[in-house]
Each structure stands twice: as C-alpha cells, then as structure tokens.
Amino acid sequence: MVAELSALQQIINALTGLNGLWAVIAQCIVTTIYTSLGGFRISFITDNIQGAMVVGLIILGVITVGVKTNVDRNLVESSGLLGASLLGWQLMYILPVAILTNDFFISGFWMRTFASKTDRDLRIGTSVATVVVAIILTLVGVSGLLAAWTGAWPGDPPQLGSIALFLLLEQLPAWVVGIVVVMTVSLSTAAFDSLQSAMISTGSNDLFRNQLNFWWIRLAVIVLIFPVAVVALRSPSVLQIYLISDLVSASSIPVLVIGLSSKCYWWRGLEVVVGGLGGLLTVFIFGTIYYGNAQDGANLLLLEQSLYVDDWSAFGAFLAAPVGGLLWGFGAFALRISVQWILARVRGHRFDALDRPPVSDPSFLTQPRERSADEDHQEPSPVVKASSLKGKFL
C-alpha cells in the first residue's frame, strides 16, 4: 500500500508538476468508501473496468510513442544498455525469486484463488492474465530503454528510473498526458483497493477468527491508512519499498509452501516462523561478512543501495534469504522432533510427532455418493471435517 501511494505521488509530480499529496488523499478516501460498502465484490468489478483502462493506456502509449518519439542513436551506444552487465545477469535470478515469492506473500492473490468457482476457472484466468501481463511488462520495460535513448531520462533534475515510462510520456502532447494521468490513477486505484480488501479479510479471518464485528476491522484499516500515507509521502524510492517486501517474502515463502504439500504433513508453524525470521537473519549475517561491519549488514536488510550496485550485495541477499530460511526451518524441525522424542521417552509415551493427521472429509466440496457393496464391508476410514482441522505450531 505504501508503494502504490508513493508511486502515485511521484507520477503526478512528474507528469503535471502538481503536488501529488492531493491525489493520494483523494485515492485513499474514494477506495475506502467503496471497499467499505461493497467489499471484495466491488473490488472485482472495479478491477475489470480499471484493467480495461490499463490496456487502453498501453495501446495509447505504444501508438503515441511510436509516432512522436525520436530516438537519438548516439545515446543508444553511449547508454551501454544493450551490453552485458553484472547486474543484468544477477537479475536473471533476483527478479524471478523476488516476484514469485512476493505473489505468494500478497493476500490479494490468495483471495482471488479462493474466489474461483472451479480449478478450471482459475487455470483459464491465470493463463489469460499471464499472457496479458507478459505483453504489458515487455512494453513497459522497453519504455525504459526509449526514455534513456530519447533523453527523457534521467531528466533535469535527475529522476528515478522507476518512473522512466512516465518521463517518456511527459514529452508527448498535453492531451495524451491528461489521458495517461487518468489511466495511471485508475491503475493505482485497482491495486490499492484490492490490498485494502485483502487486509480486511485477513484481519477478520486470520487474526480474529471472524469473532469481531466486521465494521471494527474496516475501521482499523481506515485508521491504518493514515500512517501508510505518511510513510508513502516520505519514501524516496518505490523500488526500495518493493525490494524490502520481496526480501521478506523470499525468506518466509519457501518454508511456508512446504506445508502446502500433503506429503509434508510433519511440517509445523514453528518451522515456518523460525525459517522466515532465520532467512532475514542470514541476510544480516551475509551482509556483515561481505561488508566487514554490522551496520552495513543491517542496511542490506533495507537494500538502501537498491539493485543498482556494481557488486554482489543484492544478489547475495536474495540468495541468502531463501536458502537461509530453509536451513533454519529444517534446523527448527530437527530440534523440535528431537525434543518431542526425548519427552516421549522420559514420560513413557508413544512418539507420535511424525504420525499422519486424520484425513479431511471432502463432503463440503463434493456431492455425496452411494457406497458400493464392497465398501459396506470395509472399516470406515478415520475422517474429520476439514473445518475442524487446525494447524499446529508444535
């Protein structure tokens, strides 16, 4: 949410020269009102409208940039963007890890998964989205090259590379800039309202187990928006905000997804928590060793130098986070199993820490069927309602 508001402010400032604060305030008010009244359903509806506007933005941008933009061929060679670089090869690893784990980390993606009527609907939706997003990201990525080759970026005064697309569009006719501003606000709103709805759902279900009145959760999210807006307005870089989030997700998601497999029924919440925190600790340890002091090791957790450094610090951080998280997670698993085995021996109990849990009853997902004659003579399998199964921390 901080990143969305920060990006909106910077884009409004770059395209119009106006104070982006008022756009941030307006977006917070509007999205809060309609998500409070309509919940996720209204978020889905507005996402369809806003998604169409994003496609319109891309089409308009491609046509106008192709017609109006002049590439300086001297800048193509001098920029060095077409040559191989250490960062380019590092990003072949960093970006897939960062983006994949962060997708797992964001509640909005899970909410859409659970909202799908069938697996088929989910596969169709994600397949279509994959193609569309790949096309959009390719065009947006190329706009960074064009911005550098036309002299739009870094600009005077120099601007951040994260808004290179909008610096390029700023050179277009005023009517195009106006349409781009409207579409950009729609894009930001589409993401922001989904995050608001996801936060409400997560708070209600995961934190309070639906025992607290829904409107208190909505009120808490409204109150939380105030510090989010303040932090967003003071954030120097959208990319840095995302990278911090990516580093947290790269630490916690690998140990989390192990528990999604039915074959890993012995995995517990202890391993997930220890692994997630251990991954971040591993990044700190790597940074301390790499730089030779603890202060720079701690700064690496915030990726203060972003990705644009001519060394192995960012790459090492995104390698240490998932690998360290898994090592700490399996270390916690071995320690937990050892302690439970010792306690079982001391107390004279059977060691059952590795027993497979009861099979969940899928009757709430499938229609009841008639039992066959063979099944009537068999012992019933121990099944329990899935809703009664709760995750264990130990």
Asked if residues 323 and 282 have their Cβ atoms less than 8 Å apart, the reply is yes
Do 45 and 113 reside in the same domain of the chain? yes
Q: Distance from first CA to last CA of the chain, Å, rounded?
A: 33
Kindly state the DSSP code that residue 384 receives in the 8-state scheme. Answer: E
Do 36 and 51 reside in the same domain of the chain? yes
Per-residue confidence (pLDDT) for residue 48, from 0 to 100: 83
- Residues of the chain with pLDDT below 50 are 364-365, 368-369, 375, 386-387
Do 212 and 119 reside in the same domain of the chain? yes
Spatial separation of the C-alpha atoms in residues 49 and 86, rounded to whole Å? 40
Per-residue confidence (pLDDT) for residue 387, from 0 to 100: 47
Per-residue confidence (pLDDT) for residue 386, from 0 to 100: 47
Per-residue confidence (pLDDT) for residue 383, from 0 to 100: 53
Do 359 and 221 reside in the same domain of the chain? no
In a domain, 75, yes or no: no
The residues pairing with 360 across neighbouring beta strands, listed in sequence order, are 384
- What is the residue range of 272's domain? 238-363+382-394
Other CB atoms within a 10 A radius of the CB of residue 65 amount to 21
Do 308 and 202 reside in the same domain of the chain? no
- Which residue type is seen at 271? E
- The first and second tokens of residue 321, run together, are 């986070």
Do 195 and 183 reside in the same domain of the chain? yes
Per-residue confidence (pLDDT) for residue 178, from 0 to 100: 87
Helix, strand, or coil (residue 273): helix
Axis crossing angle, helix 21-68 with helix 107-115, rounded to the nearest 10: 80
Q: Give me the count of residues in the chain.
A: 394
Do 8 and 145 reside in the same domain of the chain? yes
Q: Scanning the structure block, which residue is given the tokens 């107390």?
A: 347
CA dihedral 317, 319, 325, 327 (to 10 degrees): -130
Q: Scanning the structure block, which residue is given the tokens 């989205």?
A: 129
Q: How many domains does the chain have?
A: 2
Other CB atoms within a 10 A radius of the CB of residue 131 amount to 10
Per-residue confidence (pLDDT) for residue 272, from 0 to 100: 96
In a domain, 84, yes or no: no
Do 174 and 254 reside in the same domain of the chain? no
Asked if residues 226 and 255 have their Cβ atoms less than 8 Å apart, the reply is no
Per-residue confidence (pLDDT) for residue 236, from 0 to 100: 66
Do 121 and 262 reside in the same domain of the chain? no
Per-residue confidence (pLDDT) for residue 363, from 0 to 100: 53
In degrees, rounded to 5, the angle at the alpha carbon of residue 239 between the alpha carbons of residues 237 and 242 is 115
Do 211 and 355 reside in the same domain of the chain? no
Per-residue confidence (pLDDT) for residue 371, from 0 to 100: 52
Do 177 and 191 reside in the same domain of the chain? yes
Per-residue confidence (pLDDT) for residue 68, from 0 to 100: 85
Asked if residues 144 and 160 have their Cβ atoms less than 8 Å apart, the reply is no
In a domain, 251, yes or no: yes
In a domain, 122, yes or no: yes
Do 54 and 185 reside in the same domain of the chain? yes
Spatial separation of the C-alpha atoms in residues 176 and 16, rounded to whole Å? 12
Per-residue confidence (pLDDT) for residue 295, from 0 to 100: 93
Spatial separation of the C-alpha atoms in residues 246 and 103, rounded to whole Å? 9
Kindly state the DSSP code that residue 328 receives in the 8-state scheme. Answer: H
Chain centroid offset of residue 92 CA: 18
Q: Scanning the structure block, which residue is given the tokens 């891309």?
A: 58
Spatial separation of the C-alpha atoms in residues 189 and 30, rounded to whole Å? 9
